[in-house]
Amino acid sequence: MNMNPQFSETNPKEGVVGQPLDRIDGRAKVTGQATYSAEYNQLPNLTHAVLKTSDIAKGRVQRIDISTAAKQPGVLAIFTHENLPKLAKLPNTPEDKKALNAPMGYMPMTSDQIFYAGQPVAVVVADTLENAQYAASLIRVNSKAEVPVAAYHDPKATLYVPESVQGRLDGVTRRNDAQAAFQRAPVQLTATYSHATIHHNMMEPGATTAHWEAPDRLTIYDTTQGISETQKTVSQMLGLSVEQVRVVTKYLGGGFGSKAWVWPHTVLAALAAKAVKRPVKLVLTRPQQFTSMGYREEQQQVLRLGATQSGKLTSLIHEKTSTTSPWDDYAETNSRIIGMLYELPAYESTYRMARANVMTPTSTRAPGDMPGSFAIECSMDDLAAHLNIDPIQVRLINYAEKDSSTGHPWSSKSLKECYTRGAELFGWSKRNPKAGETRQGRMLVGMGMATASYPVHNSQGNARVRLYADGRAVVQSGATDLGTGTYTIITQVAADSLGLPAEKVRFELGDSTLPSTAWSGGSTAAGRVSSSVYLAAQDIWQKLIKIAVADRKSPLYQANPTDVVMEKGRLQLKADPGKGESFGELMKRASLGDIEGSALGRYGSSYEAPQTTANADPKEKEHASGHSMHAFGAHFCEVHVDPELGTVRVSRWVSVMAAGRILNPKTARSQVMGGSIFGIGAALMEQTKQDPNLARYTNASLADYHIPVNADIPNMVVDFIEEHDPYVNAMGVKGIGEISIVGVTAAVANAVFHATGKRLRSLPMTPSKVLEALREPV
Ligand code: MOS
């Protein structure tokens, strides 16, 4: 195998990588200098687009009257299904969907059909936002409504087992005979878990500013996690070449998976801008956000667990039932984590879904692993309670020394260390082994924990580094920073890789004119971009070493290139560090003002790694190195449950993560806190409610959709187990964005069980559900 040198083998011990550097984009953000996709207001003759959406969830538009609206001042154009310019390609068939990488399902306004409430039926373009909004309010839509299907549990819904889930997983997977193993198991536990619909609700809504700079040249400032992917999808849909579309995303106000794909509003903005021959800005309203960019689907899981009397798993049988849209077999792939988290001889997993009149669900922070961990980690807690074994101990009894789902060894795994460190930081030893027996005043107090894990997905991407003789560098990669710290961590890596102070490095991202790289999704960006930047710097050193050993005036003249190393910006002999020179001296003598390096960074440090989609599933796309690659961690939670009010308060929190090299402990800590808070929200309050008859969301605003606020969250303790993983990528980075939410809902539910002796398996655990559980006889 052609292994790259790892960062740690070629770099100085001291440097900025691993230091808690402040965000370098922090100042621009707090002073308003950072330009988000809806803030390109200096574009000449900028216009504003507003969506008019459908009130009904199923039916047809019979008549749409735009006559009054069109006469309003400032109105430039109104588009409906009757006059929307034709698109070159639509994502309306499974094949086209795949080619377009667009899970939007159906492109609105390409027919009179209505598939979901909130589906755009008209786009109004006007000179001001207010004029566009007012005109949109005057559009009269006469529709023929049909009775919609609301969700999988709607009596009108038809359940089916899909052939595949998102074209990635089989509808049914089997490993040995899990049914027989379950029947034989001395301990049999069966439980049903349910999750409400959850929306990403990032602060920055979806927004697109579309600007045709020439009749065949489009620039879109778009809220996307994937610059290259958006460029590809939009160009194909508009019938342009990839080069004719430029995508710019300098800053994002959160994504969490909602901005991982191209959604209809982006295409509508581009079409409208072309038609009115002026730049168009389209920003989704908060209610529109609930029906425009996907969400985490409502779902139910049944998990049957077979084990020995000593607590060893013998079988797991998992069934998931969920809601999907009229066109897509979309379900989060919960089965992945359930089948790999512990040593497991027999496993079976089945997906059932129902088509309902809703927008397509989509990737939402740790898709699949987040809800999957709720089922497996609550069931493991049940097993521990059933057998009177400590919850950590039951996990150690089932500790997987290799990946049961593939049989492969781990590239690295420090989960035991996470348990130990977490237990220590949390004070787990003080936990009363009996549930429902710890009180503080009238509060019931409980302690729970859960395991976290997230895969290191395959992905690849390019970076370019230009080093100047005067000691500056410009680093480029067409990635996006979701707001999580990409600007900062890549600057750190570039600085150390080039032997420069961080202030001398400028990192440019967020533009499709930069070297193309895969999306910032699936927790891949930190590992991929850092590795490609590091390898691009190596490319520069190789070029400079070549020049040095051929230069009579260089102290390294005629040295063997493999004997020369770079140390803090100096080229020197490995065996005789005194012999060498700075890159500046060498470049000056060679009359080189600057020098460029580039590299393709790939997950799996093998260059033979297969080219796969960014979100490839380990089951079907094995890493070439033959290792299973995952980050692991553990969450610990203490709750106070009020037995009279049914409220649950998280009073203490500890997360310990082992995710390879931590590039910046400050931004990493923020990621883990953010993921944990997101998970606490899902555990205790987040739910998108739907009217079962109309299939419309009833709380589509931040006033009615509850997310945790500061008062809901205690001081959080976050720690890391540093790992040196030689396989994942050249930087040894596994990614931390998604693992941080995995296991969180289970840790909270396990703490509630420990506090009350009652198991709540329906999320969110609202006060009414808690009171109901407390009333049940033991
Ligand atoms: Mo992530 S949910 O892959 O953006």
Give the pLDDT score at 381. Answer: 98
Q: Which atom of ligand 1 is nearest to the CA of 365?
A: 2
Nearest atom in ligand 1 to the alpha carbon of residue 737 is 1
- Give the percent of the chain with pLDDT over 70: 96
Q: Residue 620: is its pLDDT beyond 80? A: no
Joined tokens for residue 643: 């037995």
The atom number, within ligand 1, closest to the CA of 256 reads 4
Per-residue pLDDT at 117 exceeds 80: yes
The string of pLDDT tens digits covering residues 466-483 is: 999 999 999 999 999 999
554-602 tens-digit pLDDT: 999 999 999 999 988 899 999 999 999 999 999 999 999 999 999 987 7
Least confidently predicted of 94-98, 118-122, 240-244, 318-322:
94-98
Find out whether 163 and 157 touch, Cβ atoms under 8 Å: no
**Would the pLDDT of 102 be above 80?**
no
Average pLDDT over residues 219-226: 98
Q: Is the pLDDT of residue 93 over 80?
A: no
**Per-residue pLDDT at 615 exceeds 70:** no
Which helix (H) or strand (E) is 475 found in, with range?
A: strand 473-476
Please check whether residue 763 is in contact with residue 688, taking contact to mean a CB–CB distance below 8 angstroms. no
Strand ordering across the sheet containing 59-65: 113-114, 59-65, 140-145
In the numeric block, which tokens belong to residue 375? 């089922």
Task: Using pLDDT thresholds of 50, 70 and 90, give the confidence band for residue 403.
Answer: very high
d(CA 497, CA 508): 16
752 CA from centroid of ligand 1 (Å): 29
Whether the CB-CB separation of 20 and 502 falls below 8 Å is answered with: no
**Token pair 């309003």 is at which residue?**
72
CA of 425 to the centre of ligand 1 (A): 30
Residue 103 is predicted with a pLDDT of: 64
Ligand 1 atom nearest to 258, measured from its CA: 4
Q: Say what the alpha-carbon torsion angle 79, 80, 81, 86 is, to the nearest 10 degrees.
A: 0
pLDDT of 603 above 90: no
CB 632 within 8 A of CB 660: no
**Residue 346: predicted pLDDT:** 97
Q: In this model, does residue 614 exceed pLDDT 50?
A: no
What is the predicted pLDDT for the residue at 340?
A: 95
Q: Is 260 in the pocket of ligand 1 (CB under 6 A)?
A: yes
Cα Rg of the chain, angstroms: 27
Identify the band that residue 97 occupies on the pLDDT scale cut at 50, 70 and 90.
confident
CA of 683 to the centre of ligand 1 (A): 19
Q: How far is the CA of 131 from the centre of ligand 1 (A)?
A: 36
Averaged pLDDT, 295-311: 98
- Ligand 1 lined by 367 (C-beta under 6 Å): yes
SS3 content of the chain, % helix, strand, coil (to 5): 30, 25, 45
User: What confidence score (pLDDT) does residue 91 get?
Assistant: 86
Helix (H, G, I), strand (E, B) or coil at 589: helix
Q: What is the pTM of this model?
A: 0.96
User: Strand 113-114 vs strand 187-195: parallel, antiparallel, or unpaired?
Assistant: unpaired
Q: Distance, CA 222 to ligand 1 centroid (Å)?
A: 17
* 286 three-state secondary structure: helix
Helices (H), ranges, 293-401: 335-340, 369-387, 391-397
**CB of 364 shorter than 6 A to ligand 1:** yes
pLDDT of residue 13: 64
460: CB partners within 8 A, 6+ apart: 517, 518, 528, 600, 601, 602, 603, 609, 611
pLDDT at 532 over 90: yes
| Among 738, 739, 740, residue to substitute to test ligand 1 (most atoms within 8 Å of Cβ) | 738
Q: How far is the C-alpha of 716 from the C-alpha of 184, rounded, in Å?
A: 43
Q: What is the pLDDT of residues 735-762, one digit of tens each?
A: 999 999 999 999 999 999 999 999 999 9
Which pLDDT band holds residue 514 (cuts at 50, 70, 90)?
Answer: very high
* DSSP letter, residue 456: -
Q: Is the CB of 257 under 6 A from ligand 1?
A: yes
Confidence of residue 618 (pLDDT cuts 50, 70, 90): very low
| Range in 548-557, 619-628, 656-665 with the lowest mean pLDDT | 619-628
pLDDT confidence of residue 607: 32
Confidence at residue 771, expressed as pLDDT on a 0 to 100 scale: 98
- What distances in angstroms separate CA 708 from CA 24, 559, 703, one per listed residue? 27, 61, 12
Of the candidates 639, 697, 686, the one whose C-alpha atom is nearest the C-alpha of residue 289 is 697
AA letter at 461 = G
Identify which of 261, 365, 481 to mutate to test ligand 1's pocket (most ligand atoms within 8 A of the CB). Answer: 365
> Cα–Cα distance between 410 and 416 in angstroms, integer?
14
Q: Whose CA is nearest to atom 4 of ligand 1?
A: 257
Q: Are 597 and 464 in contact (CB under 8 A)?
A: yes
Q: Residue 18: exposed, middle, or buried by beta-carbon count in 10 A (0-12, 13-18, 19+)?
A: middle
Is the shortest distance between the CB of 480 and ligand 1 below 6 Å?
no
Task: Read off the pLDDT band of 12 (50, 70, 90).
Answer: low
Residue 3 has pLDDT above 60, yes or no: no
Q: Shortest CA distance to 180 belongs to which of 314, 372, 335, 294?
A: 314
Residue from 252, 363, 740 to probe ligand 1 pocket by mutation (most atoms less than 8 Å from CB): 363
Centre of ligand 1 to C-alpha 700, Å, is: 22
Decide: 72 and 131 in contact? Cβ < 8 Å. yes
Q: What is the DSSP letter of 188?
A: E
Percent of the chain having pLDDT more than 90? 87
Please give the Cα distance from 226 to 223 (Å, whole number): 9
Taken as a whole, the chain contains a residue count of 778
365 pocket-lining for ligand 1 (C-beta < 6 Å) = yes
E strand or H helix that includes residue 468 = strand 460-468
Catalytic residue numbers read 738
Q: DSSP string spanning 259-272?
A: TSS--HHHHHHHHH
As a whole number of angstroms, the distance between CA 269 and CA 264 comes to 9
DSSP 504: G
Pairwise CA distance, residues 272 & 238, whole Å: 12
CA–centroid distance, residue 266 to ligand 1 (Å): 19
236-258: average pLDDT: 97
- Ligand 1 atom showing the smallest separation from residue 366 Cα: 2
Long-range contacts of 84-91 (CB under 8 A, 24+ apart): 84/109, 84/110, 84/123, 84/271, 85/271, 85/274, 85/275, 87/237, 87/238, 87/239, 87/267, 87/271, 88/236, 88/237, 88/238, 88/239, 89/236, 89/237, 89/239, 90/237, 91/237
* CB count in 10 Å sphere of residue 26: 13
8 Å CB contact between 223 and 207? yes
Tokens of 491: 């600057």
